[in-house]
Amino acid sequence: MSQNILVINSGSSSVKFSLFNMQQQIETASGLAERLGSDDAALTVKWPGDQTCQTLTDSAYGTVLKRIIAVLTEQQLLDSLPLVIGHRVVHGGEFFSDPVVITDGVLDRIRQCSPLAPLHNPANLAGIEALAALYPDIPQVAVFDTAFHQSLPAKAFLYAVPYKLYEEQKVRRYGFHGVSHQYVAAEAAARLGISEQHGIISAHLGNGCSACAVANGQSMDTTMGMTPLEGLVMGTRSGDVDPGLHQFLHQQKGWDVETVTDMLNKESGMLGLSGLSNDMRTLEAAASEGAARAQLALEVFCFRLARHIGGLATSLSRLDALVFTGGIGENSRFIRAQVVANLAIFGFALDPVLNAQDGDALGRISAPAGPQVIVVKTKEELMIAQAALALI
C-alpha cells in the first residue's frame, strides 16, 4: 500500500487538491473543481503526462470530493484510500500555532474563527465535514495559514485602536501565507548555512502577496493583517490604504462599506492601477511595449514592496537574506531587479547574470557582498502533506 496523502483546499466555489506519494515525496496528481454552484462547474485532474476534464452536475462538496477520489482511483493514481487528508485552513485565530488533527473541538474553533474569514473558513469547514461523512476512518489534519505568525510580538500584531476591540472581538493582525513563509525561510536558511541564527525577509508574491520577517525560524512581523487585504499591492487587492477612504467614498459617491470593500478586494491592486490586468506577465509585456499605466503599476508594486521590506527589517537584529517566492517571485526577473534596486540602502545588490537564470544551484541571485537574495520555489501543498503525515 502506498503512503498516499491528499491535500485539500476548499474554497467557496472551488476545491483544489494535490495527491502525494510520501515514500517518494512526490506529487502524483493535482487538480481543481471550479465554478462550483454554477451550470458550468467542472473538475480537472492532472497527473504526469495526462489529464481529464469532466463536467460536474452536482456541486455539493460531498459529491465533488467523492468524484475526485473516484477519478484518482480509476486512473490508478490511488490504490487505496488516502492515509490522511490534510486541509489548508485559512484562519486559526489565536487558537492554533501548529497543525492539528481535526476533532469536534477543532471544528468548533475553526467555526469560531469564521467571522474573521467569512469567505474562507466556512468553505474549509464544509470540505472537512463532507470528507468526514464520506470517509469517517480517514484521519484529517488542519494546517492554518495564520499559524506561523502566532509568534508575532504584541507590538507587531496590535492595531492602535481601543484595546477592548482586541479583547472582545479579537481585532488584531494575524498574517497569512504562513505555510509558505515558514518553508521558504527555513529552506533559504538551510541553503545558506544559517539554520541556527538568522534574520530573513521572505516575499511571497502570487495573486495574493505578503512579506514576512523571520528571526531564527520565527515569524516576527508580516504585512497582511486581520484580513489578507492589508499590506502589499496585489493582483486585485489594494493592500494598505488610508482607513479614511471608506468615509470619503461614502460621502463622495454614496458607496456603502460592502461596495468599498469589494472595490478594494476585487478591482484594485495591479488591475485597478493599470486598468488592464491583474496578471504580472501581461503587465510586464504591456509595459515593455510602452503602456504607461502598466509601467506605473509596476513601479508602485515594486516601491511599496521595498518600503514594506524596509519596515519589516526593523523586527530583525540581523539581516542575512531576502527570499523571493510565489509565481511572481520565482519567475519575474524584472520585479526582483526593481525591488532589490529599491533596497540598495540595506546593502542588497543583484548579480544580473544569476537573476537572468533564476539563480545559481542554490537559487542565489545576489552579488557576493552584502545580504543574500535567493529564489526559493514554495511548496505549500507538500508542507501540508508532511505536517499531516507527521501527526498521524
Site residues for ligand ADP per CB under 6 A: 206-208, 235, 279-281, 284, 326-328, 331-332
User: Shortest gap between Cβ of 337 and ligand ADP (angstroms)?
Assistant: 12
Q: What is the chain's Cα-based Rg?
A: 21
User: Shortest gap between Cβ of 156 and ligand ADP (angstroms)?
Assistant: 24
Residue 336 CA to residue 324 CA, distance in Å, equals: 8
CB nearer to ligand ADP: pick between 15 and 313:
15
CB nearer to ligand ADP: pick between 36 and 220:
36
Beta bridge partners of residue 324, listed in sequence order: 203, 375
Q: How many other C-beta atoms are found inside a 10 Å radius of the C-beta of residue 385? A: 30
Residue 300 CA to residue 278 CA, distance in Å, equals: 14
Residue 134 CA to residue 336 CA, distance in Å, equals: 45
User: Shortest gap between Cβ of 22 and ligand ADP (angstroms)?
Assistant: 23
Query: What crossing angle do the helices spanning 292-313 and 280-288 adopt, rounded to 10°?
Result: 120
User: Shortest gap between Cβ of 224 and ligand ADP (angstroms)?
Assistant: 13
- The conformation of residue 115, written as its DSSP 8-state character, comes to G
Residue 201 CA to residue 362 CA, distance in Å, equals: 17
User: Shortest gap between Cβ of 30 and ligand ADP (angstroms)?
Assistant: 12
Name the residue with the smallest CB distance to ligand ADP: 327
Q: Write down the number of H helices and E strands in the chain.
A: 15, 13
Active site residue 351: no
Residue tagged active-site, from 145, 221, 256, 320? 145
User: Shortest gap between Cβ of 185 and ligand ADP (angstroms)?
Assistant: 17
Q: Which residues contact 90 (CB under 8 A, 6 or more apart)?
A: 117, 120, 121, 124, 144, 145, 146, 176
Task: List phi, psi (to 5°) of 367.
Answer: -65, 155
Residue 392 CA to residue 140 CA, distance in Å, equals: 9
Q: Which residues contact 3 (CB under 8 A, 6 or more apart)?
A: 21, 22, 23, 83, 389
CB nearer to ligand ADP: pick between 206 and 225:
206
371 and 321 Cβ atoms separated by less than 8 Å: yes
Residue 20 CA to residue 44 CA, distance in Å, equals: 17
CB nearer to ligand ADP: pick between 78 and 179:
179
CB nearer to ligand ADP: pick between 19 and 280:
280
Q: Which three cell numbers stand for residue 267?
A: 478591482
CB nearer to ligand ADP: pick between 356 and 392:
356
Catalytic residues: 145
